[in-house]
Amino acid sequence: MLDFIMTTIIPIASGKGGVGKTVFAANLGVSLARHGKTVILIDLDLGGSNLHTCLGVRNRHPGIGYVIYNKGRSLESLVVPTDIPQLHFIPGDTLFPGTANLPFFKKKKILSEIGKLVADYILIDLGGGSTFNTIDFFLVSNTGLIVTNPQTTAVLNAYAFIKSSIFRLLYRSFPPRSEERNFIKAHMANRLEGSDLTLTDILEQLKHLSPEAEEVIRENLSGFHPRVVMNMGKSQNDLALGAKLRHIVRKNLEIEIEYIGFVGYDDAVDRSIVERTPLCAGHPESNFASSIDLIREKLMESLNFGEQRLFDDDEDIKDLMGDADEFSL
Ligand SMILES: Nc1ncnc2c1ncn2[C@@H]1O[C@H](COP(=O)(O)OP(=O)(O)O)[C@@H](O)[C@H]1O
Ligand SMILES: [Mg+2]
């Protein structure tokens, strides 16, 4: 009999670039692999790919662009090994214009190809910011990871990312051209013009719009628990920031996030990139590696909540947002 492998997909995002998301993804992958799990790390930071650098893998392999541009390659055929047993890697595509929105069918193709990969864990390193590309990939899991650092702008951007994800989740909770979706769409358009309904107001109005809407929203929102990692922390205050973020999200956005870990600032991280060996592999006894191991343990313990039942976005994204790729909510 074939063993059934349960694959856990973990998208890794951040509101802002430069917070250490890629370093974190690489080291979490190393930690899982050292713990006996098979891992595939996917570089989906379209336009800003650098996961290979953090892994110490040379950038000479075909990457995700071969799937995006239909060059007849399956995602599986792009998997390359790393120096660490059980840790595999799918390179990104540095030629992709980072700001371009992938049409939804391309995202669906990538996601269905990801679904065919066999591994215990698939970690997806996403680009920074709240573009639809990033958010749609983030929503493949109910419990994706968001990395931030203690800087005010980074924390605010993490909050904005969570908010944008919730709006996208609401939008995709209803079928194309439904009354509910049109309502959310209209709100998002108004929002750009400065209307200031809160999320609570919007949920209230949606519930009045249709009795079923309330049930759908409750189901999809109640299962949505992004997890936050505070990276490059330097003080107790920094540690407390994660809890503050959780509190504000609970108050304003009606969901619970999990503050899953705190990783301290460590100069050795930069050195590990130069030395082409992730810190968790080169110095598994370091404080940095211990914090990553702790996060890995928590991730492995926690339940897999499954997926939300979301509809595709088959409408033209441009139609929805005009030329604004990044929307502030
Ligand atoms: N815990 C840390 N301590 C010190 N420097 C870090 C830490 N995490 C990341 N860095 C550094 O921050 C920079 C950005 O990291 P990177 O992972 O590329 O960010 P992102 O993927 O979010 O854009 C790199 O130079 C990296 O070495
Ligand atoms: Mg990165």
Domain boundaries, the chain: 8-321
**Of the candidate ranges 36-40, 157-161, 185-189, 240-244, the one whose mean pLDDT is the lowest:** 185-189
Nearest to 313 by CA among 101, 138, 104: 104
- How far away, in angstroms, is 108 Cα from ligand 2 center? 22
**What's the one-letter identity of residue 38?**
T
Residues with C-beta less than 6 Å from any ligand 1 atom: 14, 17-23, 50, 128, 231-232, 263, 265-266, 269-270, 273
66 versus 321: which is more confidently predicted? Answer: 66
Nearest to 96 by CA among 129, 141, 65: 65
pLDDT tens readout for residues 19-72? 999 999 999 999 999 999 999 999 999 888 999 999 999 888 999 999 988 888
Calculate mean pLDDT across residues 16-21: 96
Supply the Cα-derived Rg of the chain in whole angstroms.
Answer: 19
The pLDDT value recorded for residue 329 is 26
Which ligand 1 atom is nearest residue 19's CA?
22
Sheet with 87-90, side-by-side order of all strands = 80-81, 87-90, 39-44, 121-128, 8-14, 145-148, 227-233, 258-264
- CB 43 within 8 Å of CB 72: no
Tell me if residue 30 falls in helix, strand or coil: helix
> Residue 127: nearest ligand to its CA?
2
**Of the candidate ranges 159-168, 185-194, 272-281, the one whose mean pLDDT is the lowest:** 185-194
Give pTM, 2 decimals: 0.91
**What's the one-letter identity of residue 167?**
F
Over 80: is that where the pLDDT of 248 sits?
yes
- How far away, in angstroms, is 62 Cα from ligand 1 center? 25
- CB 67 within 8 Å of CB 110: yes
Kindly report the CATH class assigned to 8-321: alpha beta
- CB 320 within 8 Å of CB 135: no
The pLDDT value recorded for residue 321 is 36
